[in-house]
Amino acid sequence: MSTPSISALSSRSGVVSPSAAASATVVADEPGIGAWRSFLHAHARITRRLDEELQAAHGLSLAEYDALLQIAHAPGRRVRMNVLAERVILSRSGITRLVDRLEAAGSVERAACSTDARGQEAVLTKAGLERLRAAATTHLDGVRRYFLDRLDAEDLAALEASLGRVSDPLGPASRSGHEGCAPDEA
């Protein structure tokens, strides 16, 4: 996360090559690197704390909470696995393992697409919705304490606009189609 300083580089190896010294100086002096480091540290610390609180209170990881939330907000509380993977920013194998855990806990069921034999959907169960609702209080309380309460309205608006300019071009292209399996033709 952080860029090593010249003194840190020399204390590890005893010798600093001119190119290592130059690159460390260039990166450390690059305008905006302090903002980048602050963003990385804040994100890591907040997400770690939120994850710890969800695990302690509900036996649910932050990634599992996010997956349940994404499914809950999808039409019919069901979403194709590949769409869910994009939304929670996991690989296909990562989302498969996460859904396996949620399925074992009774929070999610898998359903085959009736219109596409290759596709599967994750479907939120009643128990999963209840688990999500219980965990939401813990999660939102943490978001409030660790993030929202530390910034004023002007800071929040500026941060939202700035981070939107960074993330929007990097996100998946918008879809015009259904995020689940295509509806059956009657």
Per residue of the chain (186 residues), what is the pLDDT tens digit? 444 444 444 445 556 566 655 555 556 678 899 999 999 999 999 999 999 999 999 999 999 999 999 999 999 999 999 999 999 988 888 999 999 999 999 999 999 987 777 889 999 999 999 999 999 999 999 999 999 999 999 999 999 999 999 988 887 654 434 566 755 443
Judge whether 66 and 51 are in contact, CB under 8 Å.
Answer: no
Domain-located, residue 81: yes
> CB count, 10 Å around CB of 181?
19
| Domains contained in the chain, number | 1
**What are the structure tokens assigned to 74, written together?**
């999808």
Task: Count how many residues are written for the chain.
Answer: 186
Which residue range(s) make up the domain with 144?
34-154
Cβ atoms of 60 and 134 closer than 8 Å: no
Answer yes or no: are the C-beta atoms of 95 and 79 closer than 8 Å: no
Specify the pTM: 0.77
* Residue 45 belongs to some domain of the structure: yes
Asked whether the beta carbons of 99 and 84 are under 8 A apart, the reply is: yes
Q: What is the CATH number of the domain that holds 123?
A: 1.10.10.10
